[in-house]
Amino acid sequence: MAEHEPMLDTFPKYLLLNAERFAGLPAMRHKDFGIWQSWTWKEQLEQVRTFSIGLQTHGVAHGERVAVVGANRPRLYWAIAALQALGAVPVPVYADAVAEELAYVLDHAGVRLAVVQDQEQVDKILSFSEKIPNLGLIIYDEQRGLADYDHSRLVSFADVQEAGRKAIEDAPDLSVRWEETIRAASGDDVSIMLYTSGTTGRSKGVVITAAAAVQAASDTAAFDKLNEHDSVLAYLPLAWVGDHYLNYAQGYVSGFCVNCPEGPETVAQDLKEIGPTFYFAPPRVFEGLLTMVTIRMEDAGRLKKWIFDKFIGVARKHGEAILEGRPVPLSGRIAYALGRVFVYGPLKNVLGLSKVRTAYTAGEAIGEDLFSFFRSLGINLKQLYGQTEAFLYVTCQEDGAVRADAVGPAAPNVDVRISSDGEVQFKSPGMFKGYYLDDAKTAETLTEDGYVKTGDAGFFDQDGQLRIIDRAKDVGRLKSGALFSPKYVENALKFFPNIKEAVAFGDQRDFCAVFINIDLTAVGNWAERNNISYASYQELAGHPRVYEMIANHVDDTNRKLSKEPMMAGAQIKRFLVLHKELDADDGELTRTQKVRRGFIGDRYGELIEALYDGSPEKFVETEVTYEDGRKGSIRATVKIADAKLYDVPAEAMKEAAE
């Protein structure tokens, strides 16, 4: 357990320690050429060592910032450790960022060197090279397609390692000195700079120091009893705090094995093969899994479907109680045990969740039904609430005290409070040092007594769990004075599998109106079943039967809202189904797939006006951006539909008007 272990203050120090204490245990796996390749902690140390010393020969120095761009690949994770070993600062950047975003981050961070995955990233960087004057060398992992490039600025990862190997051969004490540098490093050094996904405006570089990062990771690893025999699948974006924290940071302090999938499309298959014991996924992934299971069961034979429905019923009734060790009648236990043999076991195996001991979800609200579906199968799914500025954890739920509508009490050693105007504020071991080159923003984000303002509105409920309502600045009021929380309305809609995304409007308006994005998988499947043919997303989105279906969902949502005193005033009066999917490449979502409400408001201003001026349809032309930066446009006539409002209980009106 963590308390008996030496408390180190940088990740490279853990690398040296793990190479001794877990020498023969796997540290990293990667499925490549169809086979899981694996590296033990000892081998991982050698990989990091040669690359790190190779970087030294290229002049990488203490404090220097180096970009790391790409998918979850062992070599990129090693690059992070290799940089930290030299006291340099890794700056991971989202691999799917368009060239301009990438250039902005590289320039802002002032990187002289970038470690990237492949030709795609090299092309993006080179296309904006005049905007990144400091950038010199680019180190790439995959050779493919780069043979004919000008190699004066390009060098392969393997060549850098080779240079490191040669340098060690020439001067054997280099290796010893390298380890001494690591041991002598200070916990006050910057460990990593994580650029926020930028829900509002440009992304900011969040500076995290080593000792803080290690402290936070050790606390949560101990909280969830993670150890060297655990394993995780690293499939979240490398540049996101979640991936860096959950996989890299926790991996180094607890010694578990990080498994890198073959590619983004093979994640489901790789998950099944690896069977991780610790798993994190945003709610939309769980939603996708449930949608897939539901669709597949609809295609199954009658007997199978009957067995499935029967035992899922049993799980809904007793599953969570059994998971939490609450009393359950014997008959329930027997039925659940049978269900485990016939349904839950095989189902978890197909989903790759058989061995999961702890699973987390965060980032968005999760539907009660969805959440308890997975828990009832015996998966210990919990919620956490976090931020890049906290180096992830602010609150997290303890085993046995889990609910869908709250995110748990403060994480170990974290202090959370609600300010007088309802904003959630925290102080934590892993909290950031500041935004890089932006003291004004840093000062704006910190309170005078050193708490971080999250910008989220929330409150603690009776059992001490935090509940998040919305982004504090998004909470507004309708002209009638009724409280309007866009996220609350959107989440209620998004719990329907057919609705992928929703954007609600209403602040300072007469009523609440929404944009809806259909979920192509779910609605496409429904269309196939109902003999509805369509040629494109746009055509399906505008189909009258789809409008009918969405209208039913909106109606259900309104009925649900009408029963909640605080929210009843903000029922949806008009809605439309958007003709295109909201996309991060067009700036409509952040790279972590969060809605950028302000941007969407500007971009679709005409449609919003049409929602409020009563017109039945509206013609729009929208510009779209491809990943390489080229632009195109799509045109559509979007229909606008009305929804039925439900009576609001009298006391709610009174309360809302106060």
Partner 1 sequence: MNARPDSSEFSGARDDGIAKGDTLLEVNNVSLSFGGVKAITDISFDIKKGEIRAIIGPNGAGKTSMLNVINGFYTPQQGTITYRGVPRRAMRTTDAARQGIARTFQNIALFKGMSTLDNIMTGRITLQKRNLFWQGLWAGPAEREEIEHRRAVEAIIDFLEIEHIRKTPVGRLPYGLQKRVELGRALAAEPSLLLLDEPMAGMNLEEKEDMSRFILDVNNQFGTTIALIEHDMGVVMDISDRIVVLDYGRKIGDGNPDEIAKNQDVIDAYLGVPHEG
Site membership for partner 1, residue 269 (CB under 8 A): yes
Residue 287 phi/psi, 5-degree rounding, is: -60, -45
Q: Which is nearer to partner 1, 45 or 194 (CB)?
A: 45
Q: Hey, how many other C-beta atoms are within 10 angstroms of the C-beta on 636?
A: 18
Query: What are the structure tokens assigned to 595, written together?
Result: 């809605």
> Interacting stretch for partner 1, rule CB under 8 A, among 163-171, 260-268, 340-348, 449-457?
260-268
Give the pairing type, strands 452-460 and 434-435: unpaired
**Which one of residues 7, 37, 447, 651 is an interface residue with partner 1 (CB under 8 A)?**
37
Query: What are the structure tokens assigned to 402, written together?
Result: 């889990």
**Which one of residues 38, 181, 291, 593 is an interface residue with partner 1 (CB under 8 A)?**
38
Non-local CB neighbours of 653 within 8 Å, separated by 6+ positions: 482, 568, 569
CA distance 501 to 516: 6
**Which one of residues 3, 6, 24, 35 is an interface residue with partner 1 (CB under 8 A)?**
35
Q: How far is the CB of 633 from partner 1 (least distance, A)?
A: 14
Q: Maximum distance among all alpha carbons in the chain?
A: 84
Q: Which is nearer to partner 1, 5 or 585 (CB)?
A: 585
Site membership for partner 1, residue 262 (CB under 8 A): yes
Q: Hey, how many other C-beta atoms are within 10 angstroms of the C-beta on 255?
A: 23
**Which one of residues 6, 34, 325, 616 is an interface residue with partner 1 (CB under 8 A)?**
34
Residue in 586, 577, 563, 574 with CA at minimum distance from that of residue 643: 574
> Interacting stretch for partner 1, rule CB under 8 A, among 107-115, 144-152, 505-513, 611-619?
144-152
> Interacting stretch for partner 1, rule CB under 8 A, among 191-199, 218-226, 244-252, 265-273?
265-273
3-state DSSP call for residue 573? Answer: strand
Number of Cα atoms under 13 Å in the Cβ half of residue 195? 32
What letter would DSSP give residue 174? H
In 316-416, where does DSSP find H-type helix?
320-323, 330-339, 345-351, 368-376
Give the pairing type, strands 257-260 and 231-233: parallel
Q: How far is CA 274 from the centre of its chain?
A: 20
Pair 558, 488: CB distance under 8 Å: no
Residue 143 phi/psi, 5-degree rounding, is: -65, -35
Site membership for partner 1, residue 266 (CB under 8 A): yes
Q: How far is CA 570 from the centre of its chain?
A: 29
**Which one of residues 2, 17, 43, 273 is an interface residue with partner 1 (CB under 8 A)?**
43
Q: How far is the CB of 32 from partner 1 (least distance, A)?
A: 7
Site membership for partner 1, residue 63 (CB under 8 A): no
Q: By rule CB under 8 A, what string of x and - marks binding of each residue 146-185 to partner 1?
A: -xx-------------------------------------
Q: Which is nearer to partner 1, 150 or 463 (CB)?
A: 150
Q: Which is nearer to partner 1, 146 or 297 (CB)?
A: 146
Q: By rule CB under 8 A, what string of x and - marks binding of each residue 96-115 to partner 1?
A: --------------------
Site membership for partner 1, residue 6 (CB under 8 A): no
Q: How far is the CB of 272 from partner 1 (least distance, A)?
A: 12
Site membership for partner 1, residue 144 (CB under 8 A): yes
Q: How far is the CB of 640 from partner 1 (least distance, A)?
A: 30
CA distance 625 to 614: 31
Residue in 564, 378, 433 with CA at minimum distance from that of residue 488: 564
Q: By rule CB under 8 A, what string of x and - marks binding of each residue 12-31 to partner 1?
A: --------------------
Q: Hey, how many other C-beta atoms are within 10 angstroms of the C-beta on 330?
A: 7
**Which one of residues 201, 263, 598, 605 is an interface residue with partner 1 (CB under 8 A)?**
263
Site for partner 1 in 381-400 (CB under 8 A): none
Site membership for partner 1, residue 39 (CB under 8 A): yes
Residues in the site for partner 1, rule: CB under 8 A? Answer: 32-35, 37-39, 43, 144-145, 147-148, 262-263, 265-266, 269
